[in-house]
A and B are shown apart, each in its own frame.
Chain A
Amino acid sequence: MLSWLVPQASTSARDIDWLFTLILVTVGFWFVVAQAALFTLIFRFRRRPDVAAAYISGERKEEKRWISRPHALVIVCDIVLIAGALLTWKAVKQDLPPADERVRIIAQQWAWVFVHPGPDGKLDTDDDVRTVNDLRVKIDTTYHFELTSRDVVHSFSVPAFRLKQDAVPGRIVTGWFRPTRLGTYDIQCAEICGIGHALMPARLTVETPAEQAAWYASRSAQGG
């Protein structure tokens, strides 16, 4: 459902969109049933002359089942949704699949600094490439990112990846993503970080290994 509104460009996006649809169907059912019951009762029992209201305490067992049975069904639905949420969370956030490459992301007021591993595929070597507001990753490659902040709390958010992680000063948070679709997508800061909060729009480009190699080569040709 979400992919109608925003591209689905990572493995996590697929998992999260599946859970979104599961929740939508489940709560949508309850929403329709509850609204239908509410409006039906309002219409059916509107005041008529000479028709008195019934006296129902709702404390007797055969009356109470009108709320205790839906109550049990809500619990069943909750268990299904909890299971779906926990499994999806484990897959996208808790488990860390082995990395093909690593990138470093440093947030500050008000820009994103990205450290790419360079042609050798390793961070903290001479060929690392630092950019501002421009992150380039290879398709179908599992990345680990190391995320931190220089000043206040920011949040690294890539809607097309369904990825969001706060950048906290004093901490390095590790996460992962695996791009599945070529293209250029928005990076946002999702946690208010001062007067430039709207001015942290970075771009994320998912490209082929050949395109990335060419980009690295053009950077080193410029002496960058």
Chain B
Amino acid sequence: MAHAQQQSFWSRYVFSTDHKIIGLQYLFTGMFMGLVGSFLAYVFRMQLAFPGEPVPLFGVVTPLHYNALVTNHGAIMIFWVAMPILIAGLGNYLIPLMIGCDDMVFPRLNRLSYQIFFLSTVVILVSLFVPGGGFGGAWTAYPPLSASAQYNHTPWGAPLWLIAVALEFVAFLLGGINFVTTVMNARAPGMGPMQIPIFVWMVVIASIVFMASVGPLVAGAIMLLFDQLLGTHFYDPKAGGDPILWQHLFWFFGHPEVYVVLLPALGIVAEVITVFSRKKLFAYKTILYTAFATGIISFFVWAHHQFVAGIDPRMAHLFTITTLIISVPIAEMTFAFIATLYGGSIELRTPMLWALAFIAEFLVGGVTGIFLGANATDIYLHDSYFVVAHFHYTFFPIAIIAGFAALTYWFPKMFGRHMNETLGKIHFWGTIIPFNFIFLPLFVLGAAGEHRRIYSYEHFSQLFTPGLQNLRVLATVALVVMLLFQFVFLYNFIRSLFAGEKAEENPWKANTLEWLAPSPPPHGNFAEMPTVYRGPYEYSVPGRPLDYWPQHLPN
């Protein structure tokens, strides 16, 4: 410990190799980018509700602005918010603590991972302010639009965007190697595969899925960069290239990516609902196997994004079958989570509210996915607001709801203090209620035929009706209300960092190993390295005086 105290501010907080500092760096960068991504959403929603009016804090939104806003909102929220918070931030912070070791097995690789990620963050932010503005070809970046400035009118924005995304992939590849290796090799003595907390398993499965799916897209991204900058023609049909090739490479990664962020979110929910219902996780092995099944099937669903892209119509049958089949393991996992509550002693603290809200809201996203996985209905709903509403009912629970569940649950461990419970509940309801008023109207708009990425519907007589415009205004007003409530969280978070009630080591009376370490854990984590004697969810075991039984206590 003496060594840690001698370190300067720079070596301790900026160039640290400690997994907790790196985790917090990812977490804070992700939260900051969440503010950026939210601001972009605020601007384009204002334009849709009040077309042509100057947007406060921004000004008049041109079509060029609008395309850059939606493109970078999508890319930032997935690559710079969901990924760094759920996987890199929480994964780095929690994996060594939860498996009972002192650090990641490759600490310097870990530091390099964050440095590359930081660089990618700078590049994506810079790309918004270069001549021509930020890239506006959607986060899917389909060529030929993305491949040529002649078509997209962003000669600087497009290549910078692509470089930022490629750097981000490199950062997460390094992180993924670290997570998988650490969990394979550095678990505390006695922690067999079935004693690993579900959250850790989920990050490992997600990392494997990420590493196995991102390769083709990195290759594809380099080819696209060559098309943009060197004049190659990989995706240019005029010279024998094929634009559909990019769509396959993109979605071969793009759909597994959904499960890459979903699985850690489900892991967070598993940790929180067991602690706050004092229940053993229902069917641990089933949950684990359904997660494996989901990871594997996720590699065979990608072309459901391309039903109307001009692929052979017979191929669509195959991808409809795989896409609907992936609902089976996810549904079973959801059933297991709900069954966990049976017979519990449920305490609705803030983290538990978020975890339960995840299940309730994710159900909406899950069932609406069936309309889009079914090839025939997708003909109509593809690229409509129905899709937008659907994936926000998956990604918002994943990145935001599960993210808040994790932040409020592990805050006492990370910072040694409690967050304010009343403010936490105000923030919860102030987020959840407006969230539904943003995205339920979008289902109706999508079902009415409203297509995506349109800066103004004034030219479409079937869409520019007073009834539909009222729904757009409702969604925008709800968004503004929800964003305002985030200041409650920021206030609570920052105030609690310095003035929150002191937290003991195990304030929630949980079983997993991170609660054995001091709050906050010092460099090296544990005073004495733990040994594991049982699984992570032994709550309310009959015949014991206490309703929890930590993993490290001998029998």
A interface residue numbers (CB < 8 A to B): 2, 5-6, 12, 15-16, 19-20, 23-24, 26-28, 30-31, 34-35, 37-39, 41-42, 45-48, 51-59, 63-64, 66-67, 70-71, 74-75, 78, 81-82, 84-86, 88-89, 92-94, 109, 151-153, 155, 157, 159-160, 162-166, 168-171, 173, 185-186, 188-199, 201
Bound form: Cα–Cα A185–B345 in Å: 57
With A94-B313, A166-B308 as known contacts, state yes or no: A190 contacts B384, CB within 8 Å. Answer: yes
Cβ contact within 8 Å between B237 and A85: no
Contact partners of A194 in chain B: CB under 8 A = 67, 136-137, 145, 151-153
Cβ contact within 8 Å between B281 and A58: yes
Q: Is B540 an interface residue (CB 8 A)?
A: yes
Bound form: Cα–Cα A54–B279 in Å: 7
Contact string, B439-450, partner A, CB cutoff 8 A, digits 1/0? 000001001110
Task: Pick the residue among A52, A59, A190, A201 that contacts B540 (CB under 8 A).
Answer: A52
User: From residue 1 to 19 of chain B, which have CB atoms closer than 8 A to chain A?
Assistant: none
Bound form: Cα–Cα A35–B324 in Å: 21
Cβ contact within 8 Å between B151 and A169: no
Closest 9 CB pairs of A and B: A170-B237, A159-B449, A54-B343, A58-B282, A58-B283, A88-B376, A85-B374, A27-B367, A201-B459
Closest A residue to B278 by CB, please name it. Answer: A53
Cβ contact within 8 Å between B449 and A6: yes
Cβ contact within 8 Å between A53 and B345: yes
Contact partners of A173 in chain B: CB under 8 A = 310
Task: Pick the residue among A55, A92, A160 that contacts B376 (CB under 8 A).
Answer: A92
Cβ contact within 8 Å between B375 and A85: yes
Bound form: Cα–Cα A71–B332 in Å: 6
Q: Is B339 an interface residue (CB 8 A)?
A: yes
- Stretch from B75-83, B315-323, B488-496 contacting the other chain: B315-323
Closest A residue to B64 by CB, please name it. Answer: A195
7 contacts between A and B (CB under 8 A): A45-B277, A47-B347, A53-B279, A54-B540, A71-B331, A166-B308, A192-B137
CB distance from A29 to the nearest CB of B (A): 10
- Stretch from B30-38, B107-115, B358-366, B430-438 contacting the other chain: B358-366
User: From residue 87 to 102 of chain B, which have CB atoms closer than 8 A to chain A?
Assistant: none
Cβ contact within 8 Å between B67 and A192: yes
Bound form: Cα–Cα A201–B459 in Å: 6
User: From residue 229 to 266 of chain B, which have CB atoms closer than 8 A to chain A?
Assistant: 237-238, 242-244
Contact partners of A92 in chain B: CB under 8 A = 376, 379
Closest B residue to A153 by CB, please name it. Answer: B142
Task: Pick the residue among B328, B384, B542 that contacts A78 (CB under 8 A).
Answer: B328
Bound form: Cα–Cα A34–B337 in Å: 11
Cβ contact within 8 Å between A193 and B145: yes
Contact string, B315-358, partner A, CB cutoff 8 A, digits 1/0? 01100110011011001101110111111111110000000100
Task: Pick the residue among B284, B308, B314, B455 that contacts A164 (CB under 8 A).
Answer: B308
Task: Pick the residue among A5, A19, A38 that contacts B377 (CB under 8 A).
Answer: A19
Task: Pick the residue among B67, B152, B363, B451 that contacts A157 (CB under 8 A).
Answer: B451
Contact partners of B331 in chain A: CB under 8 A = 30, 70-71, 74
CB distance from A63 to the nearest CB of B (A): 8
Q: Is B539 an interface residue (CB 8 A)?
A: yes
Closest B residue to A173 by CB, please name it. Answer: B310
Contact partners of B145 in chain A: CB under 8 A = 152-153, 192-194
Contact partners of A162 in chain B: CB under 8 A = 379-380
Cβ contact within 8 Å between A70 and B335: yes
Bound form: Cα–Cα A15–B380 in Å: 11
Q: Is B39 an interface residue (CB 8 A)?
A: no
Contact string, B365-388, partner A, CB cutoff 8 A, digits 1/0? 001101100111101101110000
With A82-B324, A186-B462 as known contacts, state yes or no: A45 contacts B237, CB within 8 Å. Answer: no
Contact partners of A155 in chain B: CB under 8 A = 308, 383
Contact partners of A47 in chain B: CB under 8 A = 345-347
Cβ contact within 8 Å between B63 and A23: no
Contact partners of A170 in chain B: CB under 8 A = 237-238, 242-243
Q: Is B296 an interface residue (CB 8 A)?
A: no
User: From residue 461 to 476 of chain B, which have CB atoms closer than 8 A to chain A?
Assistant: 461-463
Q: Is B421 an interface residue (CB 8 A)?
A: no
Cβ contact within 8 Å between B325 and A56: no
Bound form: Cα–Cα A37–B314 in Å: 39
CB distance from A207 to the nearest CB of B (A): 17
Bound form: Cα–Cα A48–B344 in Å: 10
Cβ contact within 8 Å between A5 and B448: yes
Cβ contact within 8 Å between A199 and B144: no
With A16-B377, A89-B313, A155-B383 as known contacts, state yes or no: A78 contacts B286, CB within 8 Å. Answer: no
Cβ contact within 8 Å between A66 and B339: yes
User: From residue 146 to 189 of chain B, which have CB atoms closer than 8 A to chain A?
Assistant: 151-153
Q: Is B58 an interface residue (CB 8 A)?
A: no
Contact partners of B363 in chain A: CB under 8 A = 31, 34-35, 38
With A38-B359, A153-B142, A194-B145 as known contacts, state yes or no: A67 contacts B152, CB within 8 Å. Answer: no
Closest B residue to A151 by CB, please name it. Answer: B151
Cβ contact within 8 Å between B376 and A82: no
Contact partners of B321 in chain A: CB under 8 A = 82, 86
Cβ contact within 8 Å between B460 and A41: no
Bound form: Cα–Cα A186–B448 in Å: 12
Bound form: Cα–Cα A67–B310 in Å: 40
Closest A residue to B140 by CB, please name it. Answer: A192
Most buried by A among B347, B447, B457: B447
Bound form: Cα–Cα A165–B384 in Å: 13
